[in-house]
Amino acid sequence: MNVVFVTSESTPFGSTGGLADVSHALPIALKELGVDACRVMPFYRRHIEQSGCAVKDTGVVLDVPMGMNTVQAEIWATEGEPTKTYFIRRDEYFDRSELYGLPHRDYDDNFARFTFLQKAVVELLDAGVLEADVVHGNDWQTGLLPLFLRFGTRGMGRVGTERSVFTIHNLAYQGLFPGALFPMTSLPFSTFTVDGFEFYGQINFLKAGIVFADYVTTVSPTYAEEIQTPELGCGLHNVLVANKGRLRGILNGVDYATWDPEHDPHLKRTYRMTDVRGKRTCRNDLASRMGLELRQDRPLIGMISRLTEQKGFDILAEAMDDIMAMDVSFALLGTGQQKYHDLCEQWAARWPGKFSVRLAYDNALAHQIEGGADVFMMPSRFEPCGLNQLYSLRYGTLPVVSATGGLADTIVDLADTAKGTGFVMSEYTPAALTACVRRAVDTYQDRAAWLSVVKRVMKQDFSWSRSASSYLDLYEDCLDWA
């Protein structure tokens, strides 16, 4: 079986978060199951050069129709990698400092950039450079792919037989653009209707993927149910309910080759479930790096997150006074909304030695926080899957989470003394978050009991092999359906 995995980002060639981790790990896991899988993504020159990976020009140049114009795409590819990545190169579109936009706005030409990406994938297939039984798109940046596979890049029809899978990693980001841009797609006008991908007069890339893909997946079973409700459906709940027969929730996995304290090159000292003494060294190292005061009876809280309401910063802001009144230290890494940047800097000034923030993307520090923290903070308003809570388990760092999406699917509250793996908020409120943190602080005082739980959670297995098997079953269903 040939699977072409299309994504707007993949570690280490450009990343803003979990999508990049999934895009890196899932094709590798599929390859181990006998699937001939490859990736296709944009050529982000700066990020690719920083990756240190060997990437070469294939010499293939494609003509990609963009409305009344034709734009050329150069095709580059990795060398020596078991799972090959192909890159769509057009520097005017993709040679930029950021992937999708600047801190205060998205790039104005994102419609053209990602329409070009998707059309170039179909041109690659039509040129015979790639073969595919299944084309697997991810998030709004690939939502039009099922339509281009059906109608071609010029909208005049196509004879390809590939089946399509579309994965929603976060329904909140939908790819909404003015309807006036529709001619650039060259698609039949019959597709731009309320039953197609029209959305209150706008083009909705994500809706296109939901309506026109053969199968739609989300990244956890609970999130698949939640997005069919008005509360978390982001305006598309009725569309998802109408297509629920083609909707599946498949939990993401963890790339333990990258996230494992026993072999993590970013840690001051490695450790494993049977000998966690190295975690104390990592804890001291993290405190030193972040300028935090440390005591043996004071738990160190870590957080790695986008600074947005979705990630719980609205309730964290209200709960912070009560949390910092407890005997804790707090290390935070992330970027996001400017108002939360400002707030975090205010916290650092108000509680020196107890709260420290690094407003950046720093992969090495992310590993060091997972390895050095005692508690991991993840009070998301909604969380399609979440990966950091899974990383935390492997690193023996107990998560504080809200009961939503993939967090609900992966973390068991320690009220279950036999199976508990973390602290689950009873509701999404500042008071519930404060109560959860207080439970963590109190539990931490019993060092023997805490160590017992640490060793239990480090046994949890969320490897990609299980998730990849579910995707393989889905691909086979696609082909049987064909």
pLDDT tens-digit series, residues 451-477: 999 999 999 999 999 999 999 999 999
Do 105 and 186 lie in one domain? The reply is yes
- pLDDT tier, 353 (very low <50, low <70, confident <90, very high otherwise): very high
In a domain, 119, yes or no: yes
Average pLDDT over residues 39-54: 93
Q: Which of 54, 226, 198, 166 has the alpha carbon at shortest distance from 475?
A: 166
Average pLDDT over residues 53-80: 95
Do 293 and 424 lie in one domain? The reply is yes
* CATH code for position 194: 3.40.50.2000
In a domain, 258, yes or no: no
Segments forming the whole domain that contains residue 178: 2-253+464-481
Q: Give pLDDT tens digits for 230-261.
A: 999 999 999 999 999 999 999 999 999 999 99
pTM (2 decimals)?
A: 0.91
In a domain, 259, yes or no: no
In a domain, 264, yes or no: no
Do 56 and 105 lie in one domain? The reply is yes
